[in-house]
Structure 1
Amino acid sequence: MVWEVLDGAFARRAQAAGTASLDVLDTGGGTGNFAVPVARLGHRVTVVDPSPNALFALERRAAEAGVAERVRGVQGDVGGLFDVAERGGYDAVLCHGVLEYVDDPAGGLSKAVEALRPGGALSLLTAGAGGAVLARALAGHFEEARQALADPDGRWGAGDPVPRRFTVEQLTGLAGQAGLAVESVHGVRVFADLVPGGLVDNEPGALEALLALEEAAASLPAFKAVATQLHVLAVKRG
Protein backbone atom coordinates (compact mmCIF):
# COMPACT_ATOMS: atom_id res chain seq x y z
CA MET A 1 0.00 0.00 0.00
CA VAL A 2 2.74 2.47 0.95
CA TRP A 3 4.70 1.71 -2.19
CA GLU A 4 1.69 2.17 -4.44
CA VAL A 5 0.99 5.58 -2.90
CA LEU A 6 4.64 6.60 -3.23
CA ASP A 7 4.91 5.44 -6.83
CA GLY A 8 1.99 7.68 -7.79
CA ALA A 9 3.32 10.61 -5.78
CA PHE A 10 6.74 10.41 -7.43
CA ALA A 11 5.16 10.30 -10.89
CA ARG A 12 3.03 13.39 -10.16
CA ARG A 13 5.94 15.31 -8.68
CA ALA A 14 8.21 14.45 -11.62
CA GLN A 15 5.57 15.64 -14.07
CA ALA A 16 5.06 18.89 -12.15
CA ALA A 17 8.81 19.49 -11.93
CA GLY A 18 9.34 18.65 -15.59
CA THR A 19 12.01 16.05 -14.85
CA ALA A 20 12.30 12.27 -14.85
CA SER A 21 14.71 12.16 -11.91
CA LEU A 22 13.84 13.51 -8.47
CA ASP A 23 15.98 14.29 -5.42
CA VAL A 24 14.64 12.17 -2.56
CA LEU A 25 15.64 12.27 1.12
CA ASP A 26 15.00 9.18 3.24
CA THR A 27 15.29 10.03 6.95
CA GLY A 28 15.92 6.97 9.09
CA GLY A 29 16.12 4.95 5.89
CA GLY A 30 18.30 2.23 7.39
CA THR A 31 19.29 -0.54 5.00
CA GLY A 32 17.33 0.86 2.06
CA ASN A 33 13.96 -0.93 2.08
CA PHE A 34 12.49 2.08 0.30
CA ALA A 35 15.63 3.87 -0.91
CA VAL A 36 16.81 1.12 -3.24
CA PRO A 37 13.43 0.64 -5.01
CA VAL A 38 13.13 4.43 -5.34
CA ALA A 39 16.58 4.55 -6.92
CA ARG A 40 15.52 1.79 -9.33
CA LEU A 41 12.91 4.22 -10.62
CA GLY A 42 15.76 6.52 -11.64
CA HIS A 43 15.65 8.95 -8.71
CA ARG A 44 18.60 10.16 -6.61
CA VAL A 45 18.25 9.15 -2.95
CA THR A 46 20.07 10.43 0.14
CA VAL A 47 19.60 8.18 3.18
CA VAL A 48 20.18 9.65 6.63
CA ASP A 49 20.48 7.09 9.43
CA PRO A 50 22.31 7.01 12.78
CA SER A 51 23.50 3.41 12.39
CA PRO A 52 26.84 2.78 10.62
CA ASN A 53 25.92 -0.88 10.25
CA ALA A 54 22.66 -0.03 8.52
CA LEU A 55 24.45 2.34 6.16
CA PHE A 56 27.02 -0.32 5.33
CA ALA A 57 24.20 -2.74 4.50
CA LEU A 58 22.56 0.00 2.41
CA GLU A 59 25.74 0.47 0.39
CA ARG A 60 25.99 -3.25 -0.29
CA ARG A 61 22.30 -3.52 -1.16
CA ALA A 62 22.45 -0.59 -3.56
CA ALA A 63 25.51 -2.07 -5.27
CA GLU A 64 23.80 -5.45 -5.68
CA ALA A 65 20.78 -3.71 -7.21
CA GLY A 66 22.96 -1.75 -9.63
CA VAL A 67 21.95 1.67 -8.28
CA ALA A 68 25.00 2.57 -6.17
CA GLU A 69 25.56 5.78 -8.14
CA ARG A 70 22.07 7.00 -7.23
CA VAL A 71 22.11 6.17 -3.50
CA ARG A 72 24.12 8.11 -0.93
CA GLY A 73 24.14 7.17 2.75
CA VAL A 74 25.15 9.63 5.48
CA GLN A 75 25.25 9.15 9.24
CA GLY A 76 22.93 11.43 11.19
CA ASP A 77 19.38 11.87 12.45
CA VAL A 78 16.42 14.16 11.95
CA GLY A 79 17.42 16.30 14.93
CA GLY A 80 20.64 17.36 13.20
CA LEU A 81 19.30 16.91 9.69
CA PHE A 82 20.88 19.98 8.15
CA ASP A 83 24.33 18.99 9.32
CA VAL A 84 24.22 16.30 6.63
CA ALA A 85 21.39 17.26 4.26
CA GLU A 86 20.42 20.34 2.25
CA ARG A 87 17.65 22.63 3.45
CA GLY A 88 15.03 23.01 0.70
CA GLY A 89 16.90 20.66 -1.62
CA TYR A 90 14.52 17.72 -2.14
CA ASP A 91 11.45 16.91 -4.21
CA ALA A 92 10.31 14.25 -1.75
CA VAL A 93 11.12 13.26 1.82
CA LEU A 94 10.41 9.87 3.40
CA CYS A 95 9.94 9.99 7.16
CA HIS A 96 9.23 6.37 8.02
CA GLY A 97 9.50 4.97 11.55
CA VAL A 98 11.07 8.19 12.85
CA LEU A 99 8.49 10.19 14.80
CA GLU A 100 7.87 7.30 17.21
CA TYR A 101 11.43 7.60 18.53
CA VAL A 102 12.42 11.29 18.47
CA ASP A 103 12.08 13.41 21.60
CA ASP A 104 10.21 16.15 19.73
CA PRO A 105 7.97 14.75 16.95
CA ALA A 106 6.70 18.20 15.91
CA GLY A 107 10.24 19.54 15.67
CA GLY A 108 11.45 16.49 13.75
CA LEU A 109 8.62 16.76 11.27
CA SER A 110 9.26 20.48 10.81
CA LYS A 111 12.86 19.73 9.86
CA ALA A 112 11.71 17.12 7.35
CA VAL A 113 9.38 19.71 5.81
CA GLU A 114 12.20 22.30 5.69
CA ALA A 115 14.17 19.87 3.55
CA LEU A 116 11.45 19.95 0.88
CA ARG A 117 11.21 22.24 -2.10
CA PRO A 118 7.88 24.07 -2.43
CA GLY A 119 5.28 21.59 -3.66
CA GLY A 120 7.44 18.66 -2.61
CA ALA A 121 5.87 15.48 -1.21
CA LEU A 122 6.35 14.08 2.27
CA SER A 123 5.64 10.44 3.12
CA LEU A 124 5.03 9.88 6.82
CA LEU A 125 4.77 6.34 8.23
CA THR A 126 4.29 5.76 11.97
CA ALA A 127 3.00 3.21 14.44
CA GLY A 128 -0.76 3.40 14.96
CA ALA A 129 -2.17 3.69 18.48
CA GLY A 130 -5.34 1.75 17.74
CA GLY A 131 -3.43 -1.19 16.32
CA ALA A 132 -1.55 -1.66 19.59
CA VAL A 133 -4.79 -1.68 21.59
CA LEU A 134 -6.34 -4.31 19.33
CA ALA A 135 -3.21 -6.48 19.25
CA ARG A 136 -2.84 -6.53 23.05
CA ALA A 137 -6.53 -7.34 23.52
CA LEU A 138 -6.50 -10.21 21.02
CA ALA A 139 -3.41 -11.60 22.74
CA GLY A 140 -5.35 -11.70 26.01
CA HIS A 141 -3.47 -8.80 27.64
CA PHE A 142 -6.57 -6.81 28.51
CA GLU A 143 -5.03 -4.51 31.13
CA GLU A 144 -2.25 -3.59 28.72
CA ALA A 145 -4.83 -2.94 26.01
CA ARG A 146 -6.74 -0.63 28.33
CA GLN A 147 -3.54 1.19 29.27
CA ALA A 148 -2.63 1.70 25.61
CA LEU A 149 -6.12 3.00 24.97
CA ALA A 150 -5.84 5.60 27.76
CA ASP A 151 -2.18 6.55 27.34
CA PRO A 152 -1.61 9.74 25.28
CA ASP A 153 1.40 8.09 23.63
CA GLY A 154 -0.43 4.81 22.97
CA ARG A 155 1.94 2.77 25.17
CA TRP A 156 0.75 -0.42 26.85
CA GLY A 157 3.28 -0.41 29.72
CA ALA A 158 6.85 0.07 30.88
CA GLY A 159 8.00 -2.85 28.75
CA ASP A 160 6.59 -1.41 25.53
CA PRO A 161 9.52 -1.03 23.08
CA VAL A 162 7.82 1.76 21.11
CA PRO A 163 8.10 5.20 22.79
CA ARG A 164 4.91 6.54 21.19
CA ARG A 165 2.18 5.77 18.71
CA PHE A 166 -0.19 8.08 16.86
CA THR A 167 -3.82 8.42 15.91
CA VAL A 168 -4.93 9.72 12.52
CA GLU A 169 -5.97 12.99 14.14
CA GLN A 170 -2.60 13.45 15.83
CA LEU A 171 -0.66 12.81 12.63
CA THR A 172 -2.77 15.06 10.41
CA GLY A 173 -2.64 17.74 13.09
CA LEU A 174 1.17 17.59 13.19
CA ALA A 175 1.28 17.72 9.39
CA GLY A 176 -0.92 20.81 9.25
CA GLN A 177 1.14 22.60 11.91
CA ALA A 178 4.30 21.84 9.92
CA GLY A 179 2.95 23.53 6.77
CA LEU A 180 1.76 20.46 4.91
CA ALA A 181 -1.44 19.86 2.97
CA VAL A 182 -2.53 16.26 3.57
CA GLU A 183 -3.44 14.40 0.38
CA SER A 184 -4.20 10.93 1.75
CA VAL A 185 -4.16 8.81 4.91
CA HIS A 186 -4.05 5.01 4.81
CA GLY A 187 -4.01 2.26 7.39
CA VAL A 188 -1.16 -0.22 6.89
CA ARG A 189 -1.19 -3.80 8.17
CA VAL A 190 -4.78 -3.63 9.37
CA PHE A 191 -5.14 -7.43 9.36
CA ALA A 192 -1.70 -8.81 8.49
CA ASP A 193 -0.29 -8.75 12.03
CA LEU A 194 -3.41 -10.41 13.45
CA VAL A 195 -3.70 -13.35 11.04
CA PRO A 196 -1.82 -16.57 11.99
CA GLY A 197 1.17 -16.97 9.69
CA GLY A 198 0.44 -20.64 9.08
CA LEU A 199 -2.95 -19.79 7.65
CA VAL A 200 -1.44 -17.48 5.04
CA ASP A 201 1.42 -19.85 4.23
CA ASN A 202 -0.61 -23.03 3.91
CA GLU A 203 -3.88 -21.89 2.32
CA PRO A 204 -3.68 -21.55 -1.49
CA GLY A 205 -4.41 -17.98 -2.58
CA ALA A 206 -4.59 -16.71 1.02
CA LEU A 207 -1.75 -14.21 0.67
CA GLU A 208 -3.23 -12.61 -2.43
CA ALA A 209 -6.65 -12.46 -0.77
CA LEU A 210 -5.14 -10.88 2.35
CA LEU A 211 -3.36 -8.23 0.29
CA ALA A 212 -6.59 -7.43 -1.55
CA LEU A 213 -8.39 -7.12 1.78
CA GLU A 214 -5.69 -4.80 3.13
CA GLU A 215 -5.99 -2.60 0.05
CA ALA A 216 -9.78 -2.47 0.29
CA ALA A 217 -9.73 -1.49 3.97
CA ALA A 218 -6.74 0.87 3.98
CA SER A 219 -8.63 4.10 3.32
CA LEU A 220 -11.76 3.35 5.37
CA PRO A 221 -11.89 5.38 8.64
CA ALA A 222 -12.99 2.46 10.83
CA PHE A 223 -10.01 0.37 9.76
CA LYS A 224 -7.44 3.17 9.73
CA ALA A 225 -8.25 3.59 13.42
CA VAL A 226 -7.05 0.05 14.24
CA ALA A 227 -4.14 -0.30 11.79
CA THR A 228 -0.70 -1.31 13.02
CA GLN A 229 0.77 1.59 11.03
CA LEU A 230 -0.54 4.83 9.57
CA HIS A 231 0.68 6.35 6.32
CA VAL A 232 0.19 10.01 5.48
CA LEU A 233 1.07 11.54 2.13
CA ALA A 234 1.24 15.31 2.17
CA VAL A 235 2.56 18.21 0.07
CA LYS A 236 4.49 21.27 1.22
CA ARG A 237 2.44 24.41 0.82
CA GLY A 238 3.80 27.32 -1.13
Structure 2
Amino acid sequence: MARQLDEQMAGRFPVGQRLRVLDVGMGRGAQALRLARAGHRVTGLEQEAGSVSAARDALSREPEGIRERMRIIEGDGRDTGVHFLPGSFDVVLCHGVLMYVEEPDPLVAGLARMLAPGGLLSLLVRNGDALAMRPGLDGDWAGALGAFDCADHADRPGHDGRADRLRTLTATLAGIGAPLHTWYGVRVFTDTVADDAVPPTDLGPLLAAEERAGRTDPYRAVAALLHLCGVRG
Protein backbone atom coordinates (compact mmCIF):
# COMPACT_ATOMS: atom_id res chain seq x y z
CA MET A 1 0.00 0.00 0.00
CA ALA A 2 2.73 2.46 0.91
CA ARG A 3 4.64 1.79 -2.32
CA GLN A 4 1.49 2.12 -4.42
CA LEU A 5 0.46 5.34 -2.70
CA ASP A 6 3.93 6.85 -3.05
CA GLU A 7 3.92 5.99 -6.75
CA GLN A 8 0.64 7.81 -7.31
CA MET A 9 1.65 10.85 -5.27
CA ALA A 10 5.00 11.13 -7.04
CA GLY A 11 3.30 10.97 -10.43
CA ARG A 12 0.74 13.66 -9.59
CA PHE A 13 2.54 16.29 -7.51
CA PRO A 14 5.88 18.13 -7.87
CA VAL A 15 8.82 16.59 -6.06
CA GLY A 16 9.26 18.15 -2.63
CA GLN A 17 5.77 19.67 -2.42
CA ARG A 18 4.34 19.42 1.09
CA LEU A 19 0.87 18.04 0.62
CA ARG A 20 -2.23 18.41 2.75
CA VAL A 21 -3.31 14.87 3.59
CA LEU A 22 -6.51 13.63 5.24
CA ASP A 23 -6.53 10.03 6.52
CA VAL A 24 -10.13 8.99 7.25
CA GLY A 25 -10.32 5.96 9.52
CA MET A 26 -6.60 6.18 10.19
CA GLY A 27 -6.63 3.38 12.78
CA ARG A 28 -3.49 3.52 14.90
CA GLY A 29 -1.93 6.03 12.52
CA ALA A 30 0.70 3.98 10.67
CA GLN A 31 0.07 5.51 7.24
CA ALA A 32 -0.55 9.00 8.64
CA LEU A 33 2.69 8.97 10.61
CA ARG A 34 4.64 7.69 7.63
CA LEU A 35 3.42 10.60 5.50
CA ALA A 36 4.07 13.14 8.27
CA ARG A 37 7.64 11.85 8.52
CA ALA A 38 7.93 12.41 4.77
CA GLY A 39 7.19 16.10 5.31
CA HIS A 40 3.48 16.32 4.56
CA ARG A 41 0.84 18.00 6.74
CA VAL A 42 -1.46 15.21 7.85
CA THR A 43 -4.86 15.15 9.56
CA GLY A 44 -6.01 11.82 10.93
CA LEU A 45 -9.70 11.19 11.59
CA GLU A 46 -10.67 8.15 13.65
CA GLN A 47 -13.74 7.30 15.72
CA GLU A 48 -12.47 4.29 17.70
CA ALA A 49 -11.17 5.60 21.02
CA GLY A 50 -8.52 2.91 21.50
CA SER A 51 -7.03 3.58 18.07
CA VAL A 52 -7.05 7.34 18.70
CA SER A 53 -5.20 6.83 21.97
CA ALA A 54 -2.62 4.56 20.33
CA ALA A 55 -2.06 7.03 17.48
CA ARG A 56 -1.62 9.93 19.90
CA ASP A 57 0.82 7.90 21.95
CA ALA A 58 2.84 7.04 18.85
CA LEU A 59 2.83 10.68 17.72
CA SER A 60 4.02 11.85 21.14
CA ARG A 61 7.24 9.88 20.65
CA GLU A 62 8.06 11.59 17.34
CA PRO A 63 10.38 14.61 16.99
CA GLU A 64 8.79 18.03 17.41
CA GLY A 65 8.79 18.83 13.70
CA ILE A 66 6.71 15.74 12.92
CA ARG A 67 4.34 16.40 15.84
CA GLU A 68 3.70 19.88 14.45
CA ARG A 69 2.81 18.49 11.02
CA MET A 70 0.18 16.04 12.24
CA ARG A 71 -3.12 16.49 14.03
CA ILE A 72 -5.52 13.81 15.21
CA ILE A 73 -9.28 14.31 15.38
CA GLU A 74 -11.66 11.88 17.04
CA GLY A 75 -14.71 11.64 14.79
CA ASP A 76 -16.75 9.74 12.22
CA GLY A 77 -15.51 9.69 8.63
CA ARG A 78 -19.05 10.35 7.44
CA ASP A 79 -18.88 13.79 9.05
CA THR A 80 -15.99 15.25 7.05
CA GLY A 81 -18.21 18.17 6.04
CA VAL A 82 -18.54 19.11 9.71
CA HIS A 83 -14.79 19.20 10.34
CA PHE A 84 -13.36 20.54 7.08
CA LEU A 85 -14.11 22.89 4.20
CA PRO A 86 -14.49 21.48 0.68
CA GLY A 87 -11.23 21.37 -1.26
CA SER A 88 -9.08 21.46 1.88
CA PHE A 89 -6.78 18.54 0.99
CA ASP A 90 -4.51 17.37 -1.81
CA VAL A 91 -4.71 13.70 -0.82
CA VAL A 92 -7.52 11.86 0.98
CA LEU A 93 -7.02 8.30 2.24
CA CYS A 94 -9.80 5.93 3.26
CA HIS A 95 -8.28 2.50 3.81
CA GLY A 96 -10.22 -0.44 5.20
CA VAL A 97 -13.27 1.63 6.10
CA LEU A 98 -15.88 1.16 3.36
CA MET A 99 -16.23 -2.54 4.21
CA TYR A 100 -17.81 -1.54 7.52
CA VAL A 101 -20.13 1.15 6.17
CA GLU A 102 -23.62 -0.02 5.18
CA GLU A 103 -24.16 2.75 2.61
CA PRO A 104 -20.73 3.72 1.22
CA ASP A 105 -21.75 6.16 -1.53
CA PRO A 106 -22.41 9.18 0.74
CA LEU A 107 -19.08 8.63 2.50
CA VAL A 108 -17.16 8.42 -0.78
CA ALA A 109 -18.90 11.54 -2.11
CA GLY A 110 -17.98 13.39 1.08
CA LEU A 111 -14.35 12.35 0.71
CA ALA A 112 -14.24 13.60 -2.87
CA ARG A 113 -15.60 16.98 -1.78
CA MET A 114 -12.61 17.36 0.55
CA LEU A 115 -10.21 17.22 -2.41
CA ALA A 116 -8.76 20.23 -4.18
CA PRO A 117 -8.85 20.06 -8.01
CA GLY A 118 -6.35 17.47 -9.17
CA GLY A 119 -6.32 15.86 -5.74
CA LEU A 120 -5.87 12.13 -5.15
CA LEU A 121 -8.44 9.88 -3.47
CA SER A 122 -7.06 6.54 -2.23
CA LEU A 123 -9.52 3.79 -1.24
CA LEU A 124 -8.78 0.31 0.08
CA VAL A 125 -11.79 -2.04 -0.14
CA ARG A 126 -12.57 -5.73 0.04
CA ASN A 127 -12.78 -7.22 -3.45
CA GLY A 128 -16.35 -8.35 -4.08
CA ASP A 129 -15.33 -10.13 -7.29
CA ALA A 130 -13.01 -12.57 -5.52
CA LEU A 131 -14.84 -13.67 -2.38
CA ALA A 132 -14.59 -17.37 -3.30
CA MET A 133 -10.78 -17.29 -3.41
CA ARG A 134 -10.06 -17.57 0.32
CA PRO A 135 -12.42 -20.47 1.12
CA GLY A 136 -11.47 -22.20 -2.13
CA LEU A 137 -7.75 -22.05 -1.42
CA ASP A 138 -8.45 -23.25 2.12
CA GLY A 139 -10.33 -26.28 0.76
CA ASP A 140 -13.67 -25.05 2.08
CA TRP A 141 -15.71 -26.03 -0.96
CA ALA A 142 -19.09 -25.25 0.54
CA GLY A 143 -17.84 -21.81 1.57
CA ALA A 144 -16.42 -21.20 -1.89
CA LEU A 145 -19.67 -22.15 -3.59
CA GLY A 146 -21.62 -19.90 -1.23
CA ALA A 147 -19.28 -17.00 -1.88
CA PHE A 148 -20.08 -16.98 -5.60
CA ASP A 149 -23.60 -15.82 -4.76
CA CYS A 150 -22.53 -13.46 -1.97
CA ALA A 151 -22.60 -10.04 -3.59
CA ASP A 152 -22.30 -7.78 -0.56
CA HIS A 153 -20.50 -9.45 2.32
CA ALA A 154 -17.11 -10.94 3.02
CA ASP A 155 -17.23 -13.85 5.45
CA ARG A 156 -14.19 -14.15 7.67
CA PRO A 157 -14.43 -14.91 11.41
CA GLY A 158 -14.02 -11.66 13.31
CA HIS A 159 -13.73 -9.64 10.09
CA ASP A 160 -17.18 -9.75 8.56
CA GLY A 161 -18.07 -6.79 6.43
CA ARG A 162 -19.17 -5.51 3.06
CA ALA A 163 -17.32 -6.11 -0.17
CA ASP A 164 -17.26 -3.82 -3.21
CA ARG A 165 -17.03 -4.63 -6.90
CA LEU A 166 -14.58 -2.78 -9.12
CA ARG A 167 -17.16 -1.86 -11.74
CA THR A 168 -19.51 -0.43 -9.10
CA LEU A 169 -16.88 1.75 -7.49
CA THR A 170 -15.62 2.84 -10.91
CA ALA A 171 -19.11 4.16 -11.67
CA THR A 172 -19.36 5.78 -8.23
CA LEU A 173 -16.06 7.61 -8.60
CA ALA A 174 -17.00 8.86 -12.06
CA GLY A 175 -20.32 10.11 -10.71
CA ILE A 176 -18.77 12.18 -7.93
CA GLY A 177 -16.16 13.86 -10.09
CA ALA A 178 -13.13 11.81 -9.02
CA PRO A 179 -12.86 9.20 -11.79
CA LEU A 180 -10.71 6.13 -11.34
CA HIS A 181 -7.13 6.78 -12.43
CA THR A 182 -5.61 3.40 -11.61
CA TRP A 183 -6.11 0.41 -9.32
CA TYR A 184 -4.05 -2.30 -7.69
CA GLY A 185 -4.65 -5.65 -6.04
CA VAL A 186 -3.53 -6.10 -2.43
CA ARG A 187 -2.89 -9.50 -0.81
CA VAL A 188 -2.86 -11.64 -3.92
CA PHE A 189 -0.72 -14.49 -2.58
CA THR A 190 -0.84 -13.96 1.20
CA ASP A 191 -4.53 -13.67 2.02
CA THR A 192 -4.77 -17.21 3.40
CA VAL A 193 -1.79 -16.79 5.73
CA ALA A 194 -2.85 -17.02 9.38
CA ASP A 195 -3.01 -13.71 11.27
CA ASP A 196 -0.55 -15.01 13.86
CA ALA A 197 1.92 -16.46 11.34
CA VAL A 198 5.56 -15.50 11.86
CA PRO A 199 6.74 -13.44 8.88
CA PRO A 200 9.86 -14.57 7.01
CA THR A 201 13.17 -13.06 8.06
CA ASP A 202 13.62 -11.53 4.62
CA LEU A 203 10.36 -9.88 3.54
CA GLY A 204 11.90 -8.55 0.32
CA PRO A 205 10.93 -11.39 -2.05
CA LEU A 206 7.42 -11.63 -0.58
CA LEU A 207 6.78 -7.90 -0.98
CA ALA A 208 8.26 -7.89 -4.47
CA ALA A 209 5.98 -10.75 -5.56
CA GLU A 210 2.91 -9.12 -4.02
CA GLU A 211 3.73 -5.75 -5.56
CA ARG A 212 4.26 -7.26 -9.01
CA ALA A 213 1.05 -9.28 -8.82
CA GLY A 214 -0.88 -6.27 -7.52
CA ARG A 215 -0.27 -4.36 -10.75
CA THR A 216 -0.45 -7.27 -13.21
CA ASP A 217 -3.48 -8.85 -14.88
CA PRO A 218 -5.02 -11.31 -14.23
CA TYR A 219 -3.53 -11.60 -10.74
CA ARG A 220 -4.71 -8.27 -9.35
CA ALA A 221 -8.33 -9.10 -10.17
CA VAL A 222 -8.39 -11.96 -7.64
CA ALA A 223 -6.68 -10.08 -4.80
CA ALA A 224 -8.45 -10.03 -1.44
CA LEU A 225 -8.41 -6.24 -1.42
CA LEU A 226 -8.44 -3.53 -4.07
CA HIS A 227 -6.58 -0.23 -3.87
CA LEU A 228 -8.38 2.32 -6.04
CA CYS A 229 -6.97 5.75 -6.86
CA GLY A 230 -9.31 8.43 -8.15
CA VAL A 231 -8.40 11.96 -9.23
CA ARG A 232 -10.59 14.99 -8.59
CA GLY A 233 -11.51 16.79 -11.81
Cα deviation per residue 1:152-172 (whole Å; 9 max; x = unaligned)?
Answer: 114349x67322112322222
Counterpart for residue 74 of structure 2? 75
- 1:31/1:8 CA distance change after superposition, 3 Å: same
Q: Residue 30 in 1 paired to residue 30 in 2?
A: no
Letter in 1 for 2:209: L
- 1:81/1:225 CA distance change after superposition, 3 Å: same
Counterpart for residue 111 of structure 2? 112
Equivalent pairs: percent with the same residue? 32
Instruction: Indicate the SS of the match to 2:91.
Output: strand
Distance 1:57 1:99 in 2: 22
2:50 alignment partner, one of 35, 53, 59: 53
Cα deviation per residue 1:179-222 (whole Å; 9 max; x = unaligned)?
Answer: 11222111011002235787963xx75x3222221122112232
Letter in 2 for 1:93: V
Mean Cα deviation higher: 49-58 or 38-47: 49-58
Distance 1:235 1:7 in 2: 15
- 1:178/1:147 CA distance change after superposition, 3 Å: farther
Count of aligned positions:
230
Counterpart for residue 223 of structure 1? 219
Mean Cα deviation higher: 98-107 or 139-148: 139-148
Mean Cα deviation higher: 166-175 or 89-98: 166-175
Distance 2:198 2:124 in 1: 27
| Structure 1 residues not aligned, in runs of 5+ | none
Letter in 1 for 2:152: D
Contact 2:42 2:70 in 1 (8 A): yes
| Structure 2 residues not aligned, in runs of 5+ | none
Give the TM-score normalised by structure 2: 0.88
Distance 1:160 1:56 in 2: 22
* 1:12 Cα deviation after fit: 4.0
Instruction: Indicate the SS of the match to 1:118.
Output: strand
Q: Residue 84 in 1 paired to residue 73 in 2?
A: no
Cα deviation per residue 1:74-131 (whole Å; 9 max; x = unaligned)?
Answer: 1112221222233210001001111111121111100000000111001111112344
Q: Residue 212 in 1 paired to residue 211 in 2?
A: no
Mean Cα deviation higher: 134-143 or 42-51: 134-143
- 1:130/1:194 CA distance change after superposition, 3 Å: farther
Instruction: Indicate the SS of the match to 2:101.
Output: coil
Cα deviation per residue 1:128-154 (whole Å; 9 max; x = unaligned)?
Answer: 234431111222322222222211114
Contact 2:21 2:90 in 1 (8 A): yes
- 1:82/1:199 CA distance change after superposition, 3 Å: closer
Pairing 1:115-134 to 2, within 5 Å after superposition: 115-134=114-133
Distance 2:209 2:69 in 1: 35
Counterpart for residue 37 of structure 2? 40
Contact 1:25 1:46 in 2 (8 A): yes
Distance 1:60 1:199 in 2: 26
